[in-house]
Amino acid sequence: MNIPNEKLSVIIPLLNEAESIATLYNALIKVIRENCFNYEIVFIDDGSSDNSAEIISKIIENDANVHLIVFRKNFGKAAALQAGFRFCEGDFVITMDADLQDDPEEIPRFIAKLEEGYDMVCGWKYHRHDPLEKRLPSKLFNKVTSFFSGVPLHDFNCGFKAYRKKIVDSIDLYGELHRYIPILAHRYGFKIAEITINHKPRVHGRSKYGFERYLRGLFDSISASFLLKYHNKPMYVFGKIGLWMLTLGFLICVYLTVEWFRGVALGGRPLLLLGVLLMILGVQFFSSGLIADLVVDATFRERYNTNHIREIISNKKKNAKLAN
């Protein structure tokens, strides 16, 4: 495959992967040269405590197309990808992990799928070389996420993905939302595809994720589903809840008013407290919806936060201002 007029950006977030970096870089360069890609490789060191940054700095001395963003501490994969997205300049963007489990030989297949007219292509680790205790929760997570989001993918959490530049310019990542990039892309109407990929066993180090990521993933799944449906219309959810509470509380109070006119004492009845409480909560939810709509309408979130970055090692002059 040859895309001489378009640039390929490969974004690689990493944390303590010193043993894998040189092997990964050599494998990437082999694929890039075989396919004559106009390229850049962007490493994001997410607070490594080993010599990952030093190894990449030596690579940069011999390859001006390699860049390194170094975080002050570990801010997480979403922040690392966000930094890479804002830094890269390629027409096509590849994200992959640095642990050698993602095979660079798959990159031409990703690009070919994008050229079929898709905006984003997700990798699916069909034969996954991970322990059973990781595979089973991941399958459950993917099925639940696909069901609630309406995005028919098998592997939301696979870090090996390809994008057109317009997607990475359109999304903002924080928390654990890197798992839900397909959902965020779907929200904007982008065309998404999925391909099966070769997944290799881990050679060096160990996984940086524990069981707690599934709990965080549950919360972020709720956030992503909420954003997908109500991002531009929060009043639809807050107003609906508030209206039901307000209506139910009003009906209870009307009923108790009729009872009071009939001579029934209301002072000690819990139903009175419930009716008043529902009306107060209804007004609060309704007000929250109005305020949320005002926030959505009047403000724009800052698209890029540079506070994570300690330094940028790169030959790009235009992006040097991102480093504090």
Confidence check: pLDDT of 109 > 80 = yes
pLDDT for 216 equals 63
Nearest 10 degrees: Cα torsion 60, 61, 63, 66: 10
pLDDT for 308 equals 66
Q: Give the model confidence (pLDDT) of 281-295 as tens digits.
A: 999 988 888 887 676
Confidence check: pLDDT of 324 > 50 = no
Q: Higher model confidence: residue 180 or residue 315?
A: 180
Q: How confident is the model at residue 302 (pLDDT cuts 50, 70, 90)?
A: very low
Confidence check: pLDDT of 116 > 90 = yes
Report helix, strand or coil for 27.
helix
When mean pLDDT is compared over 42-46, 140-144, 188-192, the highest value belongs to 42-46
Contact by Cβ (8 Å): 114, 185? no
Token digits for 200? 């290799």
Q: Are strands 309-313 and 66-71 parallel, antiparallel or unpaired?
A: antiparallel
Report helix, strand or coil for 44.
strand
Q: How confident is the model at residue 320 (pLDDT cuts 50, 70, 90)?
A: very low
Q: Give the model confidence (pLDDT) of 213-231 as tens digits.
A: 556 666 666 666 666 666 6
Rounded alpha-carbon distances, angstroms, from residue 272 to 246, 275, 281: 14, 5, 14
Cα 311 off chain centre by: 23
pLDDT for 287 equals 86
Confidence check: pLDDT of 170 > 80 = yes
Q: How far apart are CA 129 and CA 67, in angstroms?
A: 30
Q: Give the model confidence (pLDDT) of 48-101 as tens digits.
A: 999 999 999 999 999 999 999 999 999 889 899 999 999 999 999 999 999 899
Contact by Cβ (8 Å): 306, 322? yes
